[in-house]
Amino acid sequence: MIFIIMGVCGSGKSTLGQMLAKELGTDFLEGDDFHSSANQNKMANGNSLSEGDRIPWLEDIRIATDQYLSRGDRVVVSCSALTKSGRQILGVERRKVQLIYLHASESILTERMRTRENHFMPASLLRSQLDTLEEPEPDEALSISVDQCPDHILDQILSRLGPG
């Protein structure tokens, strides 16, 4: 099973992805690590990625997660997965993929981005990500509000995932 933790910047994908992977006893893949240095530099300079910039990144994440599926292993991966076409590249339509959509108000997301350290993505790109975001349909993803502490959010995710 592949668990894709999606949402805009500042939604807690990395934090909650790591927590979920630890709870499930499986690996965590940081989606940001799959970005090319050109993409990272582009974002660090305050420029949004184009769909063309995102495609190779999403394909690389898909290749990595497919390796886990081929071995019958589970993995948790963080990835913004902002658009429906991007989620199709990731293969979210497959039965062995669970999409977990993290969302919050723009003010909460902005505050989180202002306080995080050592990240190439500036808070100025949040608006662009919100404008690009195509929220998943209710039957596509678990929709989780991230307006509380990470431990409570993790409990909510685990409860919604159910046993197994």
Read off φ and ψ for residue 142, nearest 5 degrees: -75, 125
Domain spans, the chain: 2-161
Q: Who wins on pLDDT, 88 or 114?
A: 88
pTM of the predicted protein model: 0.88
Full DSSP string of 51-115: HHHHHHHHHHHHHHHHHHHHHT--EEEE----SHHHHHHHTTTSTTEEEEEEE--HHHHHHHHHH
pLDDT at res. 121: 58
Question: What is the fold of 2-161?
Answer: Rossmann fold (3.40.50)
- In this predicted model, what pLDDT tens digit does every residue of 51-80 receive, in sequence order? 888 899 999 999 999 999 999 999 999 999
**Mean pLDDT score, 1-18:** 94
The mean predicted confidence, pLDDT, of the chain is 89
Helix axes 13-24, 150-161, angle to 10 degrees: 60
